[in-house]
Chain A
Amino acid sequence: MTNLEIGIASFPALLVLIFLRVPIGLAMFIVGYAGLYLVTGSSGMALARLKSSAYSTFASYSLSIVPMFLLMGYFATLGGMSQAIFRAAAAFIGHRRGGIGMAAVASCAGFGAICGSSLATAATMGRVALPELRRFGYAGGISTAALAAGGTLGILIPPSVVLVIYAILAEQNIAKLFLAAIVPGILAAIGYMLAISVYVRLHPDRAGTAARVGWPERLRLLTGVWPVLAVFIAVVGGIYGGIFTPTEGAAVGALGTGLIAYFSGGLTGRTLMEAFASTGKSTAMIFFIVFGAAFYNGFLALTQVPQELSTWVVTQGLSPLMVLVVILLIYLALGCVMDSLSMILLTVPIFFPVMMSLDFGMTPEHVAIWFGILVLIVVEVGLITPPVGMNLFIINAMDRGTPMSQTYRAVLYFVASDIIRVALLVLFPAITLFLIP
């Protein structure tokens, strides 16, 4: 076999391992190791890389943003911020048709502004909003689907762990990517609310409404949201206002939410340990995937697959837009079975050079940012597409009475709104880029 053939053969090998339930980071490590062995004829190179690769992957200034944003999300929950957001949102729009569902989506967006992870947002807001949705007569399917979809706002609205990983892989500015994600993130929230309103019009029996809340009460509840606003402004404002780097912003956010949680009484020795343990588990999982992907990608580069692929695509004479659409479709397909982080780590090193070799009539930086946001959205869609959607699983597991099939059916409304949004962003890059100087 030539090196190129070994590289190409590594994809099916990887997929087989992944489908055999081998943890994704481990699968990439095993295939990368075996691949290096086949290409070089000995395990010398793989062993030599291991002397420093695990250490240097973990000792990363940019990646250290990940555990800090995770910890920030846990502290925010301990500080009661998730409840406060939902109560305020429900007071404002809960009396409308589909209003409680929309309030759930809006509070996911609000929580997403201080949480960097989709699954954490889905799980947190699920805990808060699911009982309320059921209390106001929402059917199981639409309740779970709305929260699973709302959870993806955790990543689409900055700060976003997945966007950090993309920025590192594509060597792009994290702050600019965060900025570019804001409008598409808000569009996503609006799209999900529209999906709910369409759903409740088609199925009026599956959603109830809450009583109208008076303005004094609304304003009182709104004041409960100030810690969230303060942390968001401190973190995001500090990053754009030129006070600190994104990593430093994550540290400020973690400390800020930690203090709020402490003074609200939510942070005790016991809950702090739980926050450490949960953050630690997620951090180890993410970093091990990053490690496996870095190892695999080093092997893949050696086989020249990424270079050959981008050369091949360019010589096919396909229109750049066509190539982009094909790549996004591949992501949607992969997303039916894989989680977003693994997909990004696996595919960006391959597709990014392809994208950068095509002429979209934009600066390379704009192409990189635009592509990053599109990829971010399609991999997040993967979290709510059947059969494997991590958000669907998490929320469905919280609502034992609702069969998965109901969740699957209801979530299609949200997937449809996602696809419309992706089409808009592909056709009008300015939606993503107009904030970027």
Chain B
Amino acid sequence: QEVTLRLHQFLPAQANVPVQVLDVWADNVERDSGGRIKVERYASMALGGTPPELMDQVIDGIADVIWTVNGYTPGRFPRSEVFELPFMVSDARAASSALWQMYTEHMADTDFAEVKMLAMWVHGPGMFHTNSPVSRPLDLQGMKIRGGSRGVNDLLALTGAEAIGMPISGVPEGLSRGVLDGATMPWEVTTALRVSELVENHTEFEGPALYTLTFSLAMNPDVYAALPDDLKTVIDQNSGHDFSVFAGGTQADADGPARQLALDRGNTIVTVSEADAQEWTGLVSPLYAAWVADMEGRGIDGQALIDQAQQLMADYTPQ
């Protein structure tokens, strides 16, 4: 063994993403390198710090590889936010593919210039999990909701809901103490946080999802540069577009069992049809406009990013 890579991330080692995505990546790298690379896995922020610090940790060399939610530092990766806009993404594989392509075209030298990006993906459809049923925006009035992203918080404000800014780890306690009436997250996350035991109503959307978050699996560029060429190849072959699509798809597929768990408990699942979703999507056009204006202030053509993301997702063909 020649090289040890420290992989640092915020979830417990036995959670879905570490087991089904990150361990797969690490095992593949170890195998393909013939044991010359060893990936030491540090779960639950074991090396210290808080989740929003992960990206700086990989830039500063505290970890060699990190996995993080880009939205933990709102405003820092403006171009990736296009996939976090409400009702933007329908399919995690298509969106992960589009995200990776737009990363290479627009973000590699800008938002993420300081890291060697290995993969970027989105999670399955983000949705409402609430103590009283929600099918129309009006239903949210006065409800205390922990929003999963900045875009969702803005949407919540428009519906008259109260956006509560607690960390995701506080959600189970918040729900059980009535500090929260609900939270937004994809199905997959509900198992670890036991959300289906704490609330009885879930609201899904046909077509574009309420929201998604984008993830980065990133490496320290100097560590990558210091690798011998054949080990660089090992990293490259296990990273990039295809791994991004695999990761997004795997994470979305984990939604199924979690959804079944809620059904088994007898919980109510409201599915808003694409026609009924008009009432929701109509609300968000000012949010899109505000985001485009915000991007313009940063010298970024936000509308072009939205158009390109939608085009790439529409063009996506499953392999």
Contact = CB atoms under 8 A, between A and B. Distances in A.
Touch A–B, Cβ below 8 Å: yes
Identify the interface centre among B44, B48, B170, B178: most chain A CB within 10 Å of its CB: B48
Interface stretch (B52-60, B155-163, B235-243): B52-60
A243 interface: yes
Contacts of A244: 177, 179
A404 B57 CA distance: 50
Interface stretch (A48-56, A153-161, A385-393): A48-56
Nearest to B167: A61
A12 interface: no
A45 B61 contact: yes
B285 interface: no
A53 B49 contact: yes
A244 B46 CA distance: 29
B268 to A, nearest CB: 21
B174 interface: yes
A52 B177 contact: no
Interface in B40-91: 40, 42, 44, 46-50, 53, 56-57, 60-62
A245 B49 contact: no
A45 B62 contact: yes
Size range of the chain A interface in the assembly:
20 to 34
Contact of B60 (A48, A242, A295): A48
A13 to B, nearest CB: 19
B46 A245 contact: no
Interface string B293-314: 0000000000000000000000
Contacts of A48: 56-57, 60-62
A245 B179 contact: yes
Contacts of B104: none
B116 interface: no
Interface string B1-27: 000001000001000000000000000
Chain A facing B: main interface SS: helix
A205 interface: no
B233 interface: no
A437 to B, nearest CB: 10
Interface stretch (A221-229, A297-305, A335-343): A297-305
Nearest to B4: A3
B178 A243 contact: yes
B260 interface: no
A49 B174 contact: no
B139 interface: no
Interface string B80-112: 000000000000000000000000000000000
B173 A298 contact: no
Given A48-B62, A53-B48, A298-B47, A239 B167 contact: no
Interface string A224-265: 000000000000000100111100100000000000000000
Identify the interface centre among A239, A248, A302: most chain B CB within 10 Å of its CB: A302
Contacts of A61: 166-167, 170
B177 A245 contact: yes
B9 to A, nearest CB: 13
Contacts of A45: 60-62
A239 B173 CA distance: 10
Contacts of A245: 170, 173-174, 177, 179
A56 B49 CA distance: 7
A295 B209 CA distance: 40
Given A175-B173, A239-B177, A242-B178, A301 B42 contact: yes
A39 to B, nearest CB: 11
Contacts of A52: 49, 53, 56
Contacts of B6: 302
Contacts of B179: 242, 244-245, 248
Given A171-B44, A242-B178, A245-B177, A44 B61 contact: yes
Nearest to A44: B61
Contacts of B167: 61
B273 interface: no
Contacts of B47: 298, 301-302
Given A45-B61, A245-B170, A294 B177 contact: no
A49 B177 contact: no
A173 B169 CA distance: 10
Interface in A50-70: 51-53, 56, 61
B171 to A, nearest CB: 11
**Closest CB pairs A-B (n = 7):** A298-B48, A48-B60, A242-B178, A301-B46, A242-B177, A56-B50, A298-B47
Interface of B: 6, 12, 40, 42, 44, 46-50, 53, 56-57, 60-62, 166-167, 169-170, 172-174, 176-179
Given A48-B56, A173-B172, A245-B170, 13 more contacts: A45-B60, A49-B48, A52-B53, A53-B49, A56-B53, A173-B173, A174-B173, A242-B176, A242-B178, A248-B179, A295-B48, A298-B48, A302-B47
